[in-house]
Amino acid sequence: MVYAVFAPLIFAIIIPFLSRLKHKIHTGWLILPVPLLIFVYFLQFVGSDFKTSIATVDWIPSLNISIDFYLDGLSLLFALLISGIGALVVLYSIYYLDKEEQIGHFYTYLFIFMSSMLGVVLSDNVFVLYTFWEFTSLSSFLLIGYWHYRERSRYGALKSMLITVFGGFSLLGGLILLTIETGTTSIRGMVEQADVIVNSPYFLLILVFLLLGAFTKSAQFPFHIWLPDAMEAPTPVSAYLHSATMVKAGIYLMARFSPIFSEVPIFFILLSLFGLITLAWASYMAVRQTDLKGILAFSTISQLGMIMAMLGFGTSYAVFAAVFHILNHATFKGSLFMIAGIVDHETGSRDIRKLGGLMTFMPMSATLALFGTFSMAGVPLPFLNGFYSKEMFFESSLGLGGYSGSFVEGLVTAIPIIAVVGSIFTFIYSMYLFFGTFRGKYKENELPKEPHEAPFMMLVPPMILVIGVIVIGLFPNFFNQALITHSADAVYGADVTKDIKFWHGWNSRAFQMSLIVVGVGLLLYLTKKKWDSIYNYFPGRLNLNRVYDWIVEKIESASNKITTFYMTGSLRLYITLIVGTIILITAGTILFTNGSDFEISDVSSISAAEVIISIIMAVAAIGASIAKNRIAAILILGVVGYGLSLLFVLYSAPDLALTQLIVETVTVVLFLLCFYHLPNLTKDTSSIVYKGSNIVVSIAYGLLMMVIGMTAYNSRFAETISTYFTDNAYKLGGGDNVVNVILVDFRGIDTLFEIAVLFGAALAVFGLIKLRQDKGAK
């Protein structure tokens, strides 16, 4: 299992080298076996006798963080979608992307994303999950912005990253609180302590943080605005990220943690309410779009809202329907994205206003689109898997209850109505997508290219997905027993056994709701031109994208003002800010941790030589600050450093003395080499405020260092390690001089780099001297 997760990441390292062969063989063919083998590996777990499995790799034992991969029904379903559709996307991209493009970059980003998604759905440790979660945001940013020379691609990539990373930080806060409250980093361990979490004073905060993480990732209202702009990515990316993987990460998160929250009314209210709002709003807005991928983007948002709402319902039937629709949505939406890419690839346009009548030129693409769109619309046909889960959605919306309160009771009453309204617009945009593209009048003069059917191999990936639509529709219970039931069990936290049937009788309220959707949807689609002017009034000019742009603009403006304030080019100001910050943070830490306790009863006695050297150093420091001659200031400053070397000698630290001696010599030499460029000290016209601030900062920093030096001896936050060194210096290092053994054995690597630093400094001095000599020779 570990190899399956990291295999794409490992191959991502060698893809740039494989891409050098792209003129002989397309890079996609070389890497296609990777997701195929991963899919086959996970396929072996599918079956009615499925058993969970665990794989563990130590990572940070001191923090109780290990890479724990846990394979249950839910993670198996997602792993199959990630690897299976990933393989189809790689095959599709071979014919979609030209060899002349930077396909090495594309496949590297794609494989990083694939590995990240596998890590998200298989991780049991919450911090490992979060690490992979952020990698999905980073890699999706690179994929969406693949055509970086396009302004809209850069805008869409940045927008998706800002929104999803905001949610990622919220998720991290929730995971930290969960870890504190339960004392474990294991998701399974947290689920077992659901009562502890629910009764925690931080419960509402935990829930909100997790919801923000899930809502931003799965494009729930009002965070859905990043998904349409992400359509600027190449179509293989859209087919992968926005049908089966990235946008499902938030769904997965809620499904994984739902056993903890499912019995709490606020979870039902928030998840159901926002899910249904997302469903209704996105399906309504999809009808307004004119770009094929824009329609599919809003359709994805609406479908995600439906799944999120069903998870919020929390009943066993709703959970089963949600899991079933995750599978169904991946099949028909993945195929539709690929068909949209084919239309764009073979006609040169995705604008539905310029398309029409393409069935004659692209019969195979039209046939595949027919199955995909009708399944998405929930048309009641037994060979369309979308109808089954759509009807289950209706059924689950009717079976809610057990919650008290006027608002909740009103919400329960409104849920079936909102579900029907959202589904009506789903039917409309599905018909609009298919008939607007493949039927109607052919607009020859509107298209940049003469349309023709795509190469057969380019049609194979959507064809496989459409076959999945049909096979699942014809034999739903085969998939139910082998996969769906196990996934639903993992989400619900108990056994969920359901029979999937097409026909429930004319008296079935869910079937009646489906008939209403088809009937009203068909009527509204046929009369679309008469009522679509409503979009001019609602939403009209109201647009959440404007809110996002305004927020980003204000943040950029404020950050620019702040940066302009302190980035003045003044080295003095920079040093003052840095030193001032150090003073405030360190002094505050000492104050609030009671670190200012002085204890000098057992310190060494001070000799007269040490007092004399200290006085000389103090006088030299003051003299350097008031000297008017540059050479004098440099030499006096050197007295301070050499005095410190003498103190190290007196305190029996010859190694430190030697190091200080070398560093001080190098520093003085560097000052002398830069002598010409140093400021003239004879003319000081600075104001009193200027001088006063220098004095205040200098004295404060000096006092701080003195306090740190005096308190460091007494302030112990951990057991001292000196005893270990004295006890083991001879035994492990073979030396009587403890300091030497520490430097050479216990901290040998540290000493090596210290020597490297000194060597680098010596080379720099030598280089400056040679440079000066060369200039003098000229």
Can you give the residue ranges of every domain in the chain? 269-333+344-536, 570-597+685-717, 720-778
CA distances (Å), 31 to each of 9, 34, 80, 147, in order?
12, 6, 18, 21
Q: Which two tokens stand for residue 355?
A: 């398309």
**In contact, 19 and 27? CB cutoff 8 Å:** yes
- The C-alpha R_g of the chain, in whole angstroms, comes to 34
The residues of the chain scoring below 50 in pLDDT are none
Residue type, 740: N
Please give the DSSP secondary-structure letter assigned to residue 606. P
Measured between alpha carbons, how far is 102 from 145 in angstroms, rounded to an integer? 13
Please give the DSSP secondary-structure letter assigned to residue 186. B
Q: What pLDDT is recorded for position 202?
A: 94
Measured between alpha carbons, how far is 221 from 279 in angstroms, rounded to an integer? 9
Residue 497 CB burial class (10 angstroms; 0-12, 13-18, ≥19):
exposed
60: enclosing H helix or E strand? strand 53-60
Q: Which residue has the tokens 């031109």?
A: 529
Q: Which two tokens stand for residue 563?
A: 């940066």
Strands 65-71 and 53-60: antiparallel
**In contact, 352 and 437? CB cutoff 8 Å:** yes
Q: Which two tokens stand for residue 425?
A: 């617009």
Q: Cβ contacts of residue 776 below 8 Å, gap of 6+? A: none
Q: What pLDDT is recorded for position 773?
A: 66
Q: Counting every residue, how long is the chain?
A: 778
DSSP symbols for 220-277: -TTGGGHHHHGGGS-HHHHHHHTTTSHHHHHHHHHHHHHHHHTT-HHHHHHHHHHHHH
572: nearest Cα among 699, 702, 706, 698: 698
Q: What pLDDT is recorded for position 400?
A: 85
Measured between alpha carbons, how far is 135 from 112 in angstroms, rounded to an integer? 8
663: nearest Cα among 551, 760, 776: 760
Measured between alpha carbons, how far is 46 from 58 in angstroms, rounded to an integer? 28
**In contact, 210 and 171? CB cutoff 8 Å:** yes
Classified as helix, coil or strand, 337 is: helix
Q: What pLDDT is recorded for position 595?
A: 67
Residue 474 has, within 13 A of its CA and on its CB side, a CA count of 6
Q: Which two tokens stand for residue 340?
A: 């949209």
Q: Which residue has the tokens 């890590």?
A: 119
Measured between alpha carbons, how far is 708 from 702 in angstroms, rounded to an integer? 10
212: nearest Cα among 204, 223, 202, 201: 223
Measured between alpha carbons, how far is 757 from 168 in angstroms, rounded to an integer? 39
Please give the DSSP secondary-structure letter assigned to residue 597. -
DSSP symbols for 361-396: T-HHHHHHHHHHHHHHHT---TT-HHHHHHHHHHHH
Measured between alpha carbons, how far is 361 from 670 in angstroms, rounded to an integer? 77
DSSP symbols for 415-457: HHHHHHHHHHHHHHHHHHHHHHHHSS---GGG-SS---PPPHH
Q: Which two tokens stand for residue 353?
A: 């206003």
Measured between alpha carbons, how far is 390 from 439 in angstroms, rounded to an integer? 26
Measured between alpha carbons, how far is 419 from 517 in angstroms, rounded to an integer? 10
